[in-house]
């Protein structure tokens, strides 16, 4: 069966949806000022741009799959590492999304069913290949864009620019915290590596397009959250969700549930992509996707019950290690090997 491929734009949007999913289920512990968060995001994006250089060069120079490049005889070995990494990411994402559902819509769905349904749908999506996910991702992106524009236009909150303050010494600690969180949450790098072989062309466009899009959208969202909600974010926990909760029209009174609907669609698509990556070492992708989903559901239950958070110490290290090793070191090594191979061929 030929390898199904997606375009650079589709990959860019899948990476973006994955990042925005993380931002949405990011539960703010303290949000005294938006400035350190906005600056942290800016600096972490710059660091991500540097970390992305090896993989962008590798794929731009015609590299197809870092695992096959490094271990031509046993590429599955490395792919298993990617699978494990994204299994944990998928499980934790669903656990946090379940936490969000329980926090904001506790009477709607029980935790067990939210985990099972998301993974069942994700397994179905993943089993149909990355093309469907890429195309669906584009639709979900525009759905998000439309929803945000609409919610912003009917938002009842007033803007208070006094909420935007310059950085002070007190903001340094949250700044570094957000910076660390931003860099460790850059799992788009290993995601890019894993999906690189499915990319038709335009690695640089996908990677740097993603960074620009992420920076612009998230900075805009953080800016709006800061000037509209300010300290109330501390109370609500989910800043982006709260922004939607302040929108109101005569026809649709509240947007909380509509916001959640789009988040849930995004969750299925994003987790579907993670599950698809997990099936890469499998010789039977369809069966593999259901097996990966079952494992992911198990991890999600454990994460949910243990109350794991993205910015918890151990998980922070796990995420960061994945970003550095699987997202930067592996493509860098593959790039060196590719270079040596090309030189030998000459």
The residues in 95-124 that bind other proteins, with binding defined as CB under 8 A, are 101, 105, 107-110, 112-114, 116-118, 120-121, 124
Listing DSSP states for 40-54 in one string gives HHHHHHHHHHHHTHH
CB atoms within 10 A of CB 73: 7
Piece of 53-61, 65-73, 153-161, 338-346 that binds other proteins (CB under 8 A): 153-161
Query: What residues form DSSP beta bridges with 300?
Result: none
CB of 19 to other proteins, least distance (A): 18
Q: Which of 61, 254, 284, 305 binds other proteins (CB under 8 A)?
A: 254
Contact call for residue 231 and other proteins (CB under 8 A): yes
Complex with other proteins: residue 166 or 313, whichever CB lies closer: 166
- Among the listed residues 288, 261, 287, 266, the one whose alpha carbon sits nearest the alpha carbon of residue 277: 288
Distances (CA, A) of 31 to 55, 78, 231, 234: 34, 39, 6, 6
- Among the listed residues 232, 193, 207, 220, the one whose alpha carbon sits nearest the alpha carbon of residue 331: 193
Task: Evaluate whether 285 touches 181 at the Cβ level (below 8 Å).
Answer: no
Complex with other proteins: residue 162 or 314, whichever CB lies closer: 162
Q: Which of 53, 84, 177, 256 binds other proteins (CB under 8 A)?
A: 256
- Among the listed residues 181, 189, 237, 220, the one whose alpha carbon sits nearest the alpha carbon of residue 18: 189
CB of 270 to other proteins, least distance (A): 10
Query: What residues form DSSP beta bridges with 6?
Result: 199
Task: Evaluate whether 78 touches 66 at the Cβ level (below 8 Å).
Answer: yes
Contact call for residue 285 and other proteins (CB under 8 A): no
Task: Evaluate whether 84 touches 228 at the Cβ level (below 8 Å).
Answer: no
Task: Evaluate whether 116 touches 268 at the Cβ level (below 8 Å).
Answer: no
Contact call for residue 2 and other proteins (CB under 8 A): no
Touching other proteins, residues 173-202 (CB under 8 A):
200-202
Both structure tokens of 245: 């909760």
Piece of 19-27, 63-71, 254-262, 318-326 that binds other proteins (CB under 8 A): 254-262
Distance CA 190, CA 106 (A): 34
| Mask for 121-150, x = binds other proteins (CB under 8 A) | x--xx--xx-xxxxxx-xxx----------
Complex with other proteins: residue 243 or 326, whichever CB lies closer: 243
CB of 298 to other proteins, least distance (A): 15
CB of 320 to other proteins, least distance (A): 30
Our measurement of the distance from residue 321's CA atom to the centroid of its chain's CA atoms, rounded to an integer in Å, reads 16
Q: Which of 257, 302, 317, 321 binds other proteins (CB under 8 A)?
A: 257
Piece of 37-45, 54-62, 175-183, 267-275 that binds other proteins (CB under 8 A): 267-275
Touching other proteins, residues 9-68 (CB under 8 A):
9-10, 13
Binding residues for other proteins, rule CB under 8 A, total: 74
Pure H helices in 25-129: 34-51, 53-60, 66-70, 75-104, 111-127
Touching other proteins, residues 234-253 (CB under 8 A):
234-236, 242, 245-246, 248, 250-253
Q: Which of 174, 272, 322, 327 binds other proteins (CB under 8 A)?
A: 272
DSSP state of 324: I
CB of 254 to other proteins, least distance (A): 4
């Amino acid at each position: 069966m030929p390898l199904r491929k997606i375009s650079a734009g589709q990959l860019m949007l899948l990476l973006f949806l994955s990042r925005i999913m993380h931002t949405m289920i990011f539960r703010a512990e303290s949000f005294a000022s938006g400035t350190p968060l906005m600056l942290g995001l800016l600096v972490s994006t710059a660091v991500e741009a540097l970390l992305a250089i090896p993989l962008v060069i590798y794929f731009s120079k015609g590299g197809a799959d870092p695992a096959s490049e490094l271990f031509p005889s046993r590429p599955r070995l490395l792919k298993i590492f990617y699978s494990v990494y994204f299994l944990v990411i998928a499980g934790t994402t669903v656990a946090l999304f379940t936490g969000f559902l329980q926090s904001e819509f506790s009477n709607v769905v029980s935790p067990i069913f939210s985990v099972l349904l998301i993974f069942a749908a994700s397994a179905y999506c993943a089993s149909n290949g990355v093309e469907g996910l890429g195309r669906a991702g584009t639709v979900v992106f525009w759905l998000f864009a439309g929803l945000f524009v609409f919610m912003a236009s009917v938002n009842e909150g007033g803007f208070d620019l006094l909420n935007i303050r310059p950085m002070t010494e007190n903001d340094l600690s949250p700044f570094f915290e957000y910076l660390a969180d931003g860099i460790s949450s850059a799992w788009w790098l290993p995601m890019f590596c894993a999906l690189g072989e499915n990319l038709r062309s335009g690695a640089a466009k996908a990677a740097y397009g993603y960074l620009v899009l992420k920076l612009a959208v998230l900075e805009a969202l953080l800016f709006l959250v800061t000037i509209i909600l300010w300290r109330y974010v501390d109370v609500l926990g989910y800043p982006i969700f709260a922004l939607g909760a302040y929108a109101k029209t005569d026809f649709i009174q509240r947007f909380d549930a509509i916001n959640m609907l789009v988040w849930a669609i995004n969750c299925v698509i994003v987790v579907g992509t993670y599950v698809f990556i997990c099936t890469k070492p499998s010789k039977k992708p369809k069966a593999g996707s259901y097996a990966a989903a079952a494992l992911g559901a198990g991890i999600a239950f454990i994460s949910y019950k243990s109350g794991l958070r993205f910015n918890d110490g151990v998980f922070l290290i796990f995420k960061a290690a994945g970003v550095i090793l699987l997202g930067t070191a592996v493509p860098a090594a593959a790039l060196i090997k590719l270079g040596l191979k090309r030189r030998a061929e000459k």
